[in-house]
Amino acid sequence: MNVTVYNCREFDEEELFFRYAKELGIGLTLCQDAPDMDNISLANGSECVNIITSKMTEELLAGLKENGVSYLTTRTIGYDHIDMEAAKNLGIRVGNAPYGPHGVADYTVMLILMSIRKMKRILQRGSIQDFSLEGIQGRELKDLTVGIIGTGRIGRTVIHSLSGFGCKMLAYDLYENEEVKKEADYVSLEELWQQADIITLHAPLTEENYHMIGKSTISKMKDGVVIINTARGGLIDTEALISGIESGKISAAGLDVVENEFGLYYYDRKSDTLDNRELSVLRGFPNVTVTHHMAFYTDDCVETVIRDSLMGCKLFVEGKENPWEVA
């Protein structure tokens, strides 16, 4: 059997693809580019195609079908970049490759600590040999209340990791989880806005929670609140966030995701004039740490998605039960 892999990164993925393909007895066609109508014929001869976050439109899926593809796997947890309706109509099955929650959870804890210890300012000062102390006094987690929104796999892991720091934890989710109750107290969103010193987001972006942190919710929060987002940019109204930082209502933010990051993140744009003003403003604040949607990016994650996406292909071709198939 053969698998055609698109968006294969040479610097970290290629070697792993070769290793696991050999172990599983799979032939590979590797392409560094995203699938498009010009290179879709590379899938010819492969029953399975392996992609990352590039948009899979009806046209592209039809192109895959014409080339004999019947299983599409994505090296991600989410699959909202695939037109699932079209895939279903074309008879293409879809699989994903979920990785563990620890990478994002660790990163969240790091952003929390960086924010309350003013690490961006400390690093900026150190880089110009400004070794003064004024303005970089931090706070201790044991004295603070953390509000966790979304207690799924990542939110739960964050709660468990934070339990060692001695902070009080308030949680909110549409569905309560018994495990969480051992370490955090479920409260209403209203209570969470009012009582949390640090608010960290771990819910998926839906129509209902779009801009859940906005002008009106920020006004309910404690003065000096810290906001952490490693979930999705659209959960926060960026304009309202900027106003909150400018007024001092929000004392710090750690943002691994921002609105309108598509087209920027994962590309080298250092010589370009960017058209995302909000990102420039956020990056300019000394109390805001912005990173490019990479909380997931660990050795464990990369290895897991490559191994499991290929395993899914193998099980599909062999007609066996495939735990990675999502539709």
Dist CA 111 CA 154 (whole Å): 14
Catalytic residue status for 261: yes
Nearer to ligand NAI, 123 or 174 (CB): 174
154 is a site residue for ligand NAI (CB under 6 A)? yes
Least distance (Å) between residue 119 CB and ligand NAI: 19
Binding residue (CB under 6 A) for ligand NAI from 65, 75, 118, 202: 202
Dist CA 58 CA 86 (whole Å): 5
AA identity, residue 65:
K
Sheet with 288-290, edge to edge strand ranges: 185-186, 168-172, 145-149, 198-201, 225-229, 250-255, 288-290
Kind and range of the H or E element at 103? helix 102-116
153 is a site residue for ligand NAI (CB under 6 A)? yes
**Do the beta carbons of residue 103 and residue 121 sit within 8 Å?**
no
Catalytic residue among 102, 293, 303, 325: 293
Sheet with 27-30, edge to edge strand ranges: 27-30, 2-5, 48-51, 71-74, 93-95
Per-residue contact flags (x/-) with ligand NAI for residues 75 to 114, judged by CB under 6 A: --x-----------------------x--x----------
150 is a site residue for ligand NAI (CB under 6 A)? yes
Length of the chain as a residue count: 327
Catalytic residue among 156, 211, 232, 259: 232
151 is a site residue for ligand NAI (CB under 6 A)? yes
Catalytic residue status for 117: no
For ligand NAI, the binding residues (CB under 6 A) are: 77, 101, 104, 149-155, 172-175, 202-204, 206, 208-209, 230-232, 256-257, 293, 295-296
Catalytic residue numbers, as ranges: 232, 261, 293
